[in-house]
């Protein structure tokens, strides 16, 4: 089978729209098995492209700052909750390590 041409789908919305069309076509009882398999191959290629898009998302500086603020607020909320736990001394350190490593700003 020929590799599906997915170059025309440039945005995530384009890809999800086409995937919805593929689902509808495959569900149609008039669609042949051969056509369904071709659509399946196209869906796999589109799914891979969508995953690549998500993995390589570039955030604007404003978006990155907003994400850091949310992470900081979450970390502060978790610190506030930790003393109320009956045996949270070990858990508190475990919660802090992943947050610090996610920021990527350690010296």
First to last CA, the chain: 52
User: CB burial class (10 A; 0-12, 13-18, 19+) of residue 9?
Assistant: buried
**What is the structure's pLDDT at 55?**
85
* Under 8 Å between Cβ of 39 and 28: no
CA distance 22 to 10: 17
**What is the structure's pLDDT at 86?**
52
Report pTM: 0.54
Task: Please list the pLDDT of the chain residue by residue as tens digits (107 residues).
Answer: 678 899 999 999 999 999 999 999 999 999 999 999 999 999 999 999 999 988 887 778 888 888 899 999 988 888 877 655 455 555 544 444 444 444 444 44
């Amino acid at each position: 089978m020929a590799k599906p041409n997915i170059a025309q789908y440039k945005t995530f919305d384009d890809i999800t729209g086409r995937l919805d069309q593929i689902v509808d076509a495959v569900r149609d009882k008039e669609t042949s098995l051969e056509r369904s398999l071709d659509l399946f191959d196209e869906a796999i290629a589109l799914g891979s492209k969508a995953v690549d898009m998500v993995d390589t998302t570039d955030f604007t500086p404003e978006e990155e700052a907003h994400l850091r603020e949310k992470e900081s607020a979450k970390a502060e909320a978790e610190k506030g909750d930790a003393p109320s736990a009956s045996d949270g001394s070990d858990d508190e350190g475990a919660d802090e390590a992943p947050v610090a490593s996610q920021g990527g700003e350690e010296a």
